[in-house]
Structure 1
Amino acid sequence: MPEPGDNPSRVTTRRTVLAGGAALGAAAVVTGVALPAAARTGAGRPGTGDPFTLGVASGEPDQHSAVLWTRLAPDPLAEDGLGGMGDRRVEVHWELALDERFRRVVRRGHERTDADHGYAVHVEVAGLLPGWEYFYRFRVGRHVSPTGRTRTAPLVGVFGAGLTMSFASCSQYEHGYFTAYRHLAADEPDLVLHLGDYIYEYQRGVYVSPDGNVRDHRGPETETLAHYRQRHAQYRTDPDLRAAHAVAPWLVVPDDHEVDNNWAGDIHEKPEIPQPNFLERRANAFRAYYENMPLRRRSKPDGSHIQMYRLVRWGSLANFHMLDTRQHRDDQACDDGWKVCADAADPARTLTGREQEAWLLRNFRTSRARWDVLGQQVFFAQRRNAAGAQSMDAWDGYQGSRERVSRGWVEAGVRNPVVLTGDVHTHWANELKANYDDPDSPCIGTELVTTSITSGGNGRDSDPSTDPNLARNPHIKFFNNQRGYVRTRITRDELRADFRVVDKVTEPAAPVRTRASFVVADRRPGLTPVHSS
């Protein structure tokens, strides 16, 4: 093992990871484990029978461990959701190394998987060095997976040189190419947060972007376990998404489309239309979500419930409070949508549920981190349209919840609260206020909202200085309706956010640029624009 100061991330390159991780056939070691006939016939990649068509991923890093993931699928779009693996038990070998050529392997082992697990593999590798970069891969028979890169979190008490963290949301496969994921991977972040709508549930052609759909979903609207598994696999066939997973560990939370549009608690999208199997559908969705994400065993679903809210510490630099704003919420007020709705102000209404809210407030009271980051799904700041209406699906529809959470971090003396958000398919930068109706109310935090990867089609550029959203809502400092993601750099002294955009998602390989950048300074909530030279 290396010495604690000899971090190999200073000297290794990422060519294998960023090239998409072609299978290392020359390095394969035959294990004697036979693949099912569907895998041997090469249904995944013509002539290869490669079981690793869905790539690799890692996630949930702490100081001494991380989760390594893969899912075997030589025929990823198979109707039964089993990826062409049939029905048998398969042994999958894995190894973790300090270098991407695997000359310094520090951990290895094997896991068994089968149809009951969707042929997914979750390895919780322990005993690792804190704040360290590692490389990993899997092997079945003569097939070797792409190489992934992961890292552990620093020790509590360590700030380190800083953290590069990118976050993304809303990737509708039909609406465009996942070019933004490829650019995110090329940035080589230390950590990636995905804030929901990783997949979409609709059957082909139901949800059409203004620019037209460039590719189609396979299968019907997802309700069965087989079809949720198939849909996740279809998304993972995209090489840009696989590259983003391979480059860094992920922290994930689902939103609505992983199950059903705008669902809330035990209530499906259109409660006026009976759907007696909704909880069964939700259980199928959660099971497939767990199978396809690098989550720890503690998040394995129990029927129609999945444990998603959790705290991940990145040394003393940042706490990531990953929230679940779907499973425990009250139903949307006033039949959902954009409304002027008195019920939205009812203090008894909750977006997080009482237990999750109490957990979050305890986290605030005990936090000693420089930055406390809420990774969550829906718009947090107040936002009114021209008619004075607000979104009942966002925190505006649960104003008591928002007030309790905001007051909680203020009363706890949280040093730097930052809310990260997805869902709305547009970039926003917001200053959070104690009282949004008072222009002189103090700023008590910051919200960064990422646009979609593809959802909504190409979108359009806009001039923030003339945008009516900002005039109506003076605490909103930036808006942009293009596709992309947000890249952040977090240090002891500041958090810098770069709003990254691609001009088109209907054409592959569009270039990326930074549309705007802001800095949040330590102990100074609010947004300072960074002007390019």
Structure 2
Amino acid sequence: MSGAAAAATAVGAATATPALAATTGTSPGIGHFSSYPFSLGVASGDPLPDSVILWTRIAPEPLVIGSGMPDRPVPVHWQVADDEAFTEIVREGEIFARPENNHAVHVDVRGLRPDRWYFYRFRCGSELSPVGRTRTLPAPGASVASFTVTHLSCQNWAVGYFTALRYMAEDSIDLALHLGDYIYEGAISGPVRDGADVPDAIRAACHSVDEYRLRYSLYKTDPDLQAAHAAYPWAIVWDDHEVSNDYAGGVDHGPAQLARRTAGYKAWWENTPTRVDPPVGADERIYRRFAVGSLVQFDLLDSREYRIGDNDPLVSKLGDEQEAWLIDGINAYDTTWNVAAVGQQLGGVNANSPTRNRIYKAYYDRSVAPVILAGDLHWTIASDALLAIPDASSPIVGEQFIVTSITSTGDGPGSQATKDGWMKFPWVKYVDGYRGYIRSTFTPSGVYSTQRDVRFVTRPNAPVWDAQNFFIDPKKPGIQLA
């Protein structure tokens, strides 16, 4: 746990005090802001049965370096309540937003009740933040009737509107799993989003920490992204564009690439509601595990930091340590379902992968049928997880859902020839080239998933529809179209 989060935990355990008010006064040392300081919204993440991380960043001028903030710590008050009107406050405290973290805060709120929805907000000076909604997980081993997650990836701001996130915010979801490419680091050229005015400093390709911070600010000013973050907690991992396209972290690319990785990891940590510790230079462990009562175990994986090669028979694509952690923890919780969520799939849809073969065999040997959630491809591909792809006669180990992008690649439906190419493999059950997300409800009797698509992203206000439903039977591995 970070020092700031630890301090917040101690404050959060204090006795609740009267309701937070938007007063005309200011906190000590803080005057009135040049603009609304909560311009980037609020978020929560990485819930546990008794805890959740609350996030915000104080940014009255989000699109300039330093966000218009003084070079000193700023006190931020936070509250958690049972009700949206904040008449029943259950935890509150104060934390400092520090300049070395770009005035972001991560509050580790402890002592919450399991399997509960809460409301939260912040105050800085005389200003109140928007209200966010979050929840805790069920207690370990508790019986759970259902739990709904969405998984999403690849939200390129310059390519289109985050309309899918608006619909996602309105959906009945308990937890969002963002599987990478939260930002895109490359140069932004040409007109974007109806000619929005993007400063040159933000259009430049990201290399320094300030450039990555500005790129996150641009993305996080999006109202649909803010709405989805405020609706429920998220658990986030990265893929490649949080640093640079197709980077492989386990390969030494020299000091320039390591410096870029250091900057990218720092900005990622500052701008996500994550429970993981801050990075140390170019290193940060983000793979982690949690369970939803007796229903689902989730393993969140890092597809980039330890990566050396895709098809090395001896060296893991996940890094040897992370692969061992995953395999050793397959039975960490006694749950009906076991989910592995990763930015990029463990191996190609139709290609042999030694790393994937070892991992799938470990699941198979333990009689555990995993549900694999992945992103990266900008296509939805729902397929059976075979023990030895591309051997179509090998046993079905579990299921894999690769989710399409939020905007990347632009409007669907994608190339029919590409779709036909995927569908010729018998283990591939469904392919979709529109933009959108997948919602999955886990129950003891089955997993019910839906691909939700938006008609276009290059214009605002696209309609949404349920493109395909899926079902997974806990007694029979494999995806069924419903």
- TM-score, normalised via structure 2 length: 0.91
Partner of residue 511, structure 1: 463
- Secondary structure at 2:465 match in 1: strand
Runs of 4+ in 1 over 4 A off after TM superposition: 34-37, 211-217, 461-466
The residue identity in structure 1 corresponding to 2:434 is Q
**In structure 2, what is the Cα distance between the partners aligned to 1:442 and 1:266?**
32
* Structure-1 separation of matches of 2:382 and 2:284: 31
Q: Structure 1 residue 277 and structure 2 residue 264: aligned?
A: no
Q: Which residue of 2 is the match for residue 524 of structure 1?
A: 476
Q: 1:75 aligns to what?
A: 61
Kindly indicate whether residue 256 of structure 2 is the aligned counterpart of residue 304 of structure 1. Answer: no
The 8 Å contact of residues 137 and 145 in structure 1, kept in 2 or not, is answered as yes
| Residue 26 of structure 2 corresponds to residue 32 of structure 1 | yes
For the residues of structure 1 that align with 2:127 and 2:440, how far apart are their CA atoms?
36
Matches of residues 84-163 of structure 1 in structure 2 within 5 Å?
A: 84-163=68-147
Match of 1:7 in 2: none
Q: Any idea what the Cα deviations from partners look like across 1:337-396, whole Å, max 9, x if unmatched?
A: xxxxxxx3x411311111111111111133311111111011346434xxxxx5xxxxx5
Instruction: Give the superposition deviation at 1:331.
Output: 4.0
- The verdict on how the C-alpha distance between 1:168 and 1:29 changes in structure 2, with shifts beyond 3 A counting, is same
Moved more, 152-161 or 28-37: 28-37
> Quick one: structure 1 residues 213 and 412, their matched pair in 2 at CA, closer, same or farther if it must change by over 3 Å?
farther
| 1:266 to partner: Cα distance | 4.6
Q: SS at 2:357's partner residue?
A: helix
Distance verdict in 2 for CA 1:525–1:507, change over 3 Å:
same
| In 2: Cα distance, 1:212 partner to 1:72 partner | 27
Q: What amino acid does structure 1 have at the position aligned with 2:61?
A: D
C-alpha contact (below 8 Å) 1:94/1:110 kept by paired residues:
yes
- Give 1:494-505 correspondences, 5 Å limit: 494-505=446-457
Which residue of structure 2 aligns with residue 458 of structure 1? 411
CA distance in 2, matches of 1:214, 1:426: 27
Cα distance change of structure 1 residues 460 and 72 upon mapping to structure 2, 3 Å threshold: same
Deviation at 1:117, TM superposition (A): 1.3
- 1:58 partner letter: S
Correspondent of 2:332 among 366, 369, 380: 366
- Tell me how far apart the structure 2 counterparts of residues 465 and 410 of structure 1 sit (CA, whole Å): 31
1:66 aligns with 2:44: no
- In 2, the alpha carbon distance for the partners of 1:456 and 1:437 equals 27
- Aligned partner (choices 320, 323, 330) of residue 357 of structure 1: 323
Q: Distance in 2 between matches of 1:266 and 1:441?
A: 31
Q: How many residue pairs were aligned?
A: 461
- Residue aligning to 1:20: none
- Does 1:57 find its partner at 2:65? no
Amino acid at match of 1:481: G
Over 3 Å counting, the alpha-carbon distance change for 1:440 and 1:266 in structure 2 is closer
TM-aligned CA deviation for residue 52 of structure 1: 0.2
Alignment partner of 2:47: what SS?
Answer: coil
Kept in 2: contact 1:205–1:216 (CA 8 A)? no
Superposed CA deviations along residues 221-253 of structure 1, whole A, max 9, x for unmatched, are: 111111111111110000000000001110000
Q: In the alignment, does 2:402 pair up with 1:409?
A: no
Deviations 1:48-103 (A, max 9, x none): x210000000011111101000000011100x2x2111312210000000011101
Aligned partners of 2:144, 2:305: CA distance in 1, in Å? Answer: 35
Counterpart of 2:16?
none
Query: What secondary structure does 2:48 align onto?
Result: coil
Distance between the aligned counterparts of 1:492 and 1:104, measured in 2?
34
Matched ranges for 1:177-192 at <5 A? 177-192=161-176
Deviation digits for residues 481-502 of structure 1 (CA, Å, limit 9, x no counterpart):
1100111111111111100100
- Cα distance in 2 between the residues matched to 1:502 and 1:85: 38
Q: Could you say which residue in structure 2 is the equivalent of 1:379?
A: 345
Given that 2:141 and 2:334 are in contact with CA atoms closer than 8 Å, whether structure 1 keeps it comes out as: no
8 Å CA contact 2:27–2:126 kept in 1: the answer is: no
Q: Which amino acid is 2:323 matched to?
A: E
Alignment check: 8 A CA contact 1:173 1:216 kept: no
Tell me if structure 1 keeps the 8 A contact 2:49–2:113: yes
Inter-CA distance 160–365: structure 2 relative to 1 (3 Å threshold): closer
Q: Distance in 2 between matches of 1:101 and 1:361?
A: 45
Query: Structure 2 matches for 1:320-359, cutoff 5 A?
Result: 320-331=298-309, 344=311, 346-359=312-325
- Residues in 2 aligned to 1:409 and 1:133: alpha-carbon distance in whole angstroms: 33
- Once the two structures are superposed, residues 96-153 of structure 1 have per-residue CA deviations (whole angstroms, 9 ceiling, x without a partner) of 0001110100000000122111100100000110101100000012110011111111
Query: What is the identity, as a one-letter code, of the residue corresponding to 1:369?
Result: T
User: Contact (CA 8 Å) 1:328, 1:351: kept in 2 or not?
Assistant: yes
Question: Do the aligned partners of 2:357 and 2:388 also contact (CA within 8 Å) in 1?
Answer: no
Letter in 2 for 1:404: R
Contact map agreement 1:373 1:419 (CA 8 A) in 2 = yes
2:415 counterpart of 1:449: no
- Partner residue, 1:171: 155
CA displacement at 1:157 relative to structure 2? 1.8
Q: Are 2:383 and 1:430 equivalent residues in the alignment?
A: yes
- Classify the secondary structure of the residue corresponding to 2:77: strand
SS in 2 for 1:76: coil
Equivalent in the alignment of 2:423: 470
Quick one: distance in 1 between partners of 2:437 and 2:419?
A: 23
Q: Is the 8 A contact 1:174 1:215 kept in 2?
A: no
